[in-house]
Amino acid sequence: MSDEFYMSLALNEAWKFQGLTYPNPAVGCVILDKFGKILSIAAHQKAGCGHAELNGVALALKKINPNLIFPKNPNEIYNFILENHNNLLKGSKAFVTLEPCSHIGKTPPCAKLLVALKFSEVIIGYKDENKIAKGGAEILKRSNICVKFGVLEDKCKELIEPFLSWQNGNFSFLKLGASLNGVLKGGVITNLESRQMTHKFRSLIDLLVIGGNTVRIDRPRLDTRLINGTKNPDIFIYSKSKNFDKTIPLFEVRDRKILIQSDINLVKNYKFCMFEGGENLIKNLPPFVTHILIFFSEKFINLENLSINLNLKLLFMDKISDNFYGWFKILR
Amino acid sequence: MSDEFYMSLALNEAWKFQGLTYPNPAVGCVILDKFGKILSIAAHQKAGCGHAELNGVALALKKINPNLIFPKNPNEIYNFILENHNNLLKGSKAFVTLEPCSHIGKTPPCAKLLVALKFSEVIIGYKDENKIAKGGAEILKRSNICVKFGVLEDKCKELIEPFLSWQNGNFSFLKLGASLNGVLKGGVITNLESRQMTHKFRSLIDLLVIGGNTVRIDRPRLDTRLINGTKNPDIFIYSKSKNFDKTIPLFEVRDRKILIQSDINLVKNYKFCMFEGGENLIKNLPPFVTHILIFFSEKFINLENLSINLNLKLLFMDKISDNFYGWFKILR
């Protein structure tokens, strides 16, 4: 199969953790052995956990030697691999959506890991322009690893656009839960797994944005109970009037800052923001909201749809139990 | 990677040709070399063309030896492979969604092809119960090829449910083109590629079913012009009144039978039928319509949705240029 095929597998895996890696970029990695057999398909899943390459290498070694028992901390995994790889991955090929890092963060540089394991070739989707992390390809090349750039480059750039945005100050996306025929109302629309994913986002974002009318009518809690979360998001209520019934559950959630503001541009002071509606806010999305995450139930519902004009570009779609969801970019 | 992973690749490839293989089943095939490297991902694409295994083997050989120039006719390809394989696929592994056939149809048996090429293992999703084609696994086993059954069996069965239905007398599905928010009206919704795929179906089906009101209001042609088709579908107009303006373009299409009937069950006399709406027909889908194929544009449109209750199960989804489409099963 082509390099594009394997890069697609890496991209798909990475997209599953889009946003969930905040403040890190989503990155995917596929490792083939020297004969071209796929050993692992991995991604960076969460800040503080292993980079895509580390996860990919660990999975690949585990595939070859299922008896290996890895430590849990990524730094320990890194060292464990250096001590126990036994050249099992010598001559392997890695496909990474983003250039392997060259810096010491939670772990030593991924580029040096691939060198130590004697990879023969690294295929990179998008060159890392990040001041701190860039330069991984140089490390690889200096060790005579064959480096190829630009495979599915546009798609690999799309993958890290949220990261580039929050690095630039703000990434804001709208989350929707819809029936297959565009219905957003009438109670809970999507399945538990979809709502749990939303709660994961809530535990990671800097700000949850919601319209004043929705707060008044729906009386939401906007917490992270579905994942037994310990961190609940700060709330931005988009409203001219500061007058709210303080028995609305969201006001009861502890350790939360609540802003009630009519200037939506204040949201841009926060790096990672999720908009959760309602209809008025969706119909007047500010231009800095660049992406939409839609969870679809597999139902048509006998109710009115959300009737607006919006041009989107599908970036990624996946099943989530008996629902599916898609990441879309807003075309303006 | 697991057997399930490779079977998924075979399944996905097969689904791309769902319905287009009529009257044959949709079948997918993935071939790995003796080292576990993927050589090909293939599917049966059209009746009269190569079976999935034949296509997979041809692609795999072409991958190893790009200089091979294959003939076009499947029977000639089969013989060409027998003469030119040079044991290049010895020890290979095939994943097939359906048990390889044992019978001589347009080509000799696929099972015998895999034997001749000295495959070491064949992983089968769903056992072929077809009276004519079944027994492939026995042929494989007699030649000491390792045979494994039942990998993603349920999904492999889902894949051939349309085939099993039309073999049983009738497979009927509804085709929809919708915006992301469930709008079906307001002119052309989906992209050219989606409409071309619809026209491909029109060139294959035994009957196109459409509601009388839609015929009167939309005045459609219901032909296959977008693929320069030579065969246009017979039309079933679901209507109590037989009174239609004969200048409506669909009546002008040559070599077409047109039935105007109020008994929808007459549709069941035809093996492969596509319903194309409109709203009244969709709201009263007869129980023998078991599947829906939905093409989605990547837009929200400021119009009313199709407002009905319908529970679906997503079977397959894929991009089609800048749109996407999904095959759904209707849950009743």
Over residues A37-94, the pLDDT tens digits come to 999 999 999 999 999 999 999 999 999 999 999 999 999 999 999 999 999 999 999 9
Q: Which residue of chain A has the CA closest to B319? A: A314
User: Strands B207-211 and B235-238, how do they pair?
Assistant: parallel
Decide if A294 touches B, using CB distance below 8 A. yes
Q: Which residue of chain B has the CA closest to A307? A: B302
What is the ipTM score, two decimals? 0.93
Residue A299 Cα, gap to closest chain B Cα (Å): 5
Look at residue B131 in the predicted model and tell me its pLDDT.
75
Residue A132 has pLDDT above 80, yes or no: no
CA distance B28 to B12: 8
CA distance B111 to A64: 31
Decide if A41 touches B, using CB distance below 8 A. yes
Decide if A304 touches B, using CB distance below 8 A. yes
Decide if A312 touches B, using CB distance below 8 A. yes
Single-letter code of the amino acid located at B319:
K
Under DSSP, is residue A12 helix (H, G, I), strand (E, B) or coil?
helix
Closest CA to A22 of A200, A147, A152, A260: A200
Scan for tokens 């002119």, then name that residue: B187
Residue B130 has pLDDT above 80, yes or no: no
Q: Report chain B's mean pLDDT, rounded to a whole number.
A: 95
Residue A158 has pLDDT above 80, yes or no: yes
Task: Decide if A180 and B182 are in contact by the 8 Å CB cutoff.
Answer: yes
Alpha-carbon distances, residue A96 vs A114, A124, A221, B245 (angstroms):
11, 5, 39, 61
Q: Catalytic residue numbers of A?
A: 53
Look at residue B106 in the predicted model and tell me its pLDDT.
76
Look at residue B185 in the predicted model and tell me its pLDDT.
87
CA distance B292 to B310: 11
Q: Which two tokens stand for residue B144?
A: 């000491």
Q: What angle do CA A288, A290, A293 make, to 5 degrees?
A: 135
Look at residue A185 in the predicted model and tell me its pLDDT.
87
CA distance A162 to A167: 8
Averaged over A232-243, what is the pLDDT?
A: 96
Q: Cβ-count burial of B226 within 10 angstroms (0-12 exposed, 13-18 middle, 19+ buried)?
A: middle
Residue B163 has pLDDT above 90, yes or no: yes
Backbone φ and ψ for A30, nearest 5 degrees, come out as: -120, 135
pLDDT tens per residue, range A239-273: 999 999 999 999 999 899 999 999 999 999 999 99
Of A181, A303, A308, the CB nearest to B302: A308
CA distance A295 to A125: 28
pLDDT tens per residue, range A180-189: 999 998 889 9
Q: Report chain A's mean pLDDT, rounded to a whole number.
A: 95
Single-letter code of the amino acid located at B200:
K
Q: Which residue of chain B has the CA closest to A310? A: B300
Chain pair A-B, CB pairs under 8 angstroms: 119
Task: Decide if B319 and A322 are in contact by the 8 Å CB cutoff.
Answer: no
Look at residue A133 in the predicted model and tell me its pLDDT.
67
Decide if B91 touches A, using CB distance below 8 A. no
pLDDT tens per residue, range B29-48: 999 999 999 999 999 999 99
Look at residue B133 in the predicted model and tell me its pLDDT.
67
Residue B312 Cα, gap to closest chain A Cα (Å): 5
Q: What is the DSSP string of A83-100?
A: HH-TTTTTT-EEEEEEPP
Q: Which residue of chain B has the CA closest to A311? A: B299
Domains and CATH numbers, chain B: 3-166 (3.40.140.10), 170-331 (3.40.430.10)
Residues across chain B: 332
- Give the largest Cα separation in chain A, rounded: 67
Decide if A325 touches B, using CB distance below 8 A. no
Q: Report the share of chain B in percent with pLDDT over 70.
A: 100
Look at residue B277 in the predicted model and tell me its pLDDT.
82
Averaged over A22-39, what is the pLDDT?
A: 97
